[in-house]
Every structure is written in structure tokens, then in C-alpha cells.
Chains A and B, each alone.
Chain A
Amino acid sequence: GESVGLHLPTLSVQEGDNSIINCAYSNSASDYFIWYKQESGKGPQFIIDIRSNMDKRQGQRVTVLLNKTVKHLSLQIAATQPGDSAVYFCAESGIRGSTLGRLYFGRGTQLTVWP
């Protein structure tokens, strides 16, 4: 069936290191992908998005990579800081039968940054 999931439920990194969070999707018709950050007690916060006509997109300290061949998405965070500790969700959308592009969310990866 269709699913959006993450390879690791938890990730621990040391402050200053780079972090890589992975996401797999199964719908080959997915054409829009987005990463959210969720801090404890808060709603998801938009980080970065990418469309299927791109392989890479960069933001401030973050980079999203999209590999459509293997249906894989990753979020790279450079020089990870304690404030980056949160749960990170990937989400994707694309036409599924008659359903237009709603967002479908993965289960999330808990990123912990150690000083």
C-alpha cells in the first residue's frame, strides 16, 4: 500500500555535526514533498519543500534531496544546534485516483542534539 515513512525513529547527534533524516515514499505519482519540524507542545512548522522536477533545494542550514528513482527524500541540517532538537516529519502529495493532492505524513523522526 501507499506509505510515507522514515528509516529511523530516533537520531542523536552532537552539536555542530551535520544531521541527515531520511524518508521513503511509495507513491510514484507524488509530486510535492515537504519537511516539517515539531517541537514539544507545538504544531508542525514548515522547514522546506521541493517539487518533483527538482533533485535538491537549499534553505538556511537545511537541504532537501529528492531521489525519484528510489523514492527517497532526505533532510540535511548543517551544524546542528540544540534548538534543532524536535520531531521531523516528511509529507508528500500527489494524485491518488480521483483524490487531489492532500498531504500524507510519515511517522516522524525524533532528533536529539547533545552539547
Chain B
Amino acid sequence: NAGVTQTPKFQVLKTGQSMTLQCAQDMNHEYMSWYRQDPGMGLRLIHYSVGAGITDQGEVPNGYNVSRSTTEDFPLRLLSAAPSQTSVYFCASSPDRVGGNQPQHFGDGTRLSIL
């Protein structure tokens, strides 16, 4: 049972480039989410989804897009990378459709640097 799998683990981009961070879970969880973690700060919610075909914005959505075509996958797209998006990105899932009543299971993160 792999849990939450994120790819790639590391990525370096140039300003203005676009890319997609992949997230997949094999636990049939309804709720999936993307967070970013910056030094000295807690995790901040970027986007989340309560099921296939349904997505919504979190606290810091600007510059990111998401889609949820299947229960298993929740990719995060950076449209035009900026140095301020240098961060560690975590994907999480939860069996709880609301996302705040049961533990969320996290992947090991993607470390992204924007030059």
C-alpha cells in the first residue's frame, strides 16, 4: 500500500516556466489537498478537492491550478513559475470528505526551486 505518492521529489525551474507536480493516492480517499511549506512556517493550503470533478481554493491559490479527473490523482500546475514559489509542496488525502475531521495522510513532498 503506497499511500500518497508525489513526483518529482526535486525540481529546479527557471522563472516563467510551467510544470505539473503529480500526486496520487491508492486509499480511495475523497479529500485531497495541496500545501506549501516555507521555512519557519506551518503548512498553508493552496487548493483542495472533496471528490472527483470538484476543486476549490485554499489560503494561497494564486499562481496555481488544479484538476481532479479521478479519485486517485490530484495534479498541481504552476502556470508561470516565480521565485516566490520556491517551497516544499505536500499533497495530502483524507477519507473524510470535509477534510477536517479525520487525519490527513501526507506524501513526502516535492522540493521546488525557482531561479
Contacts and interface: CB of A to CB of B under 8 A. Distances in A.
Contacts of B100: 32, 93-94, 100-103
A41 interface: yes
A107 B44 CA distance: 10
B21 to A, nearest CB: 13
Task: Classify chain B's interface size.
Answer: 20 to 34
Interface of B: 4, 33, 35, 40-45, 48, 58, 90, 92, 98-109
B101 A105 contact: no
Contacts of A102: 33, 45, 48, 58, 99-100
Interface string A43-64: 1111001000000000000000
A44 B106 contact: yes
Interface in A85-115: 89, 91, 93-94, 100-103, 105-108
Contacts of B109: 41-43
A4 interface: yes
A17 B43 CA distance: 29
A99 B27 CA distance: 25
A41 B98 CA distance: 28
Contacts, number: 59
Give the 9 A-B CB pairs with smallest separation, nearest first: A101-B100, A93-B100, A43-B106, A105-B42, A46-B103, A105-B43, A43-B108, A107-B42, A44-B106
A107 B38 CA distance: 10
Contacts of A49: 102-103
Contacts of B33: 102
A66 interface: no
Contacts of A41: 108-109
Given A43-B90, A108-B42, A103 B99 contact: yes
Contacts of B107: 43
A73 interface: no
A21 interface: no
A90 to B, nearest CB: 9
A89 B37 CA distance: 12
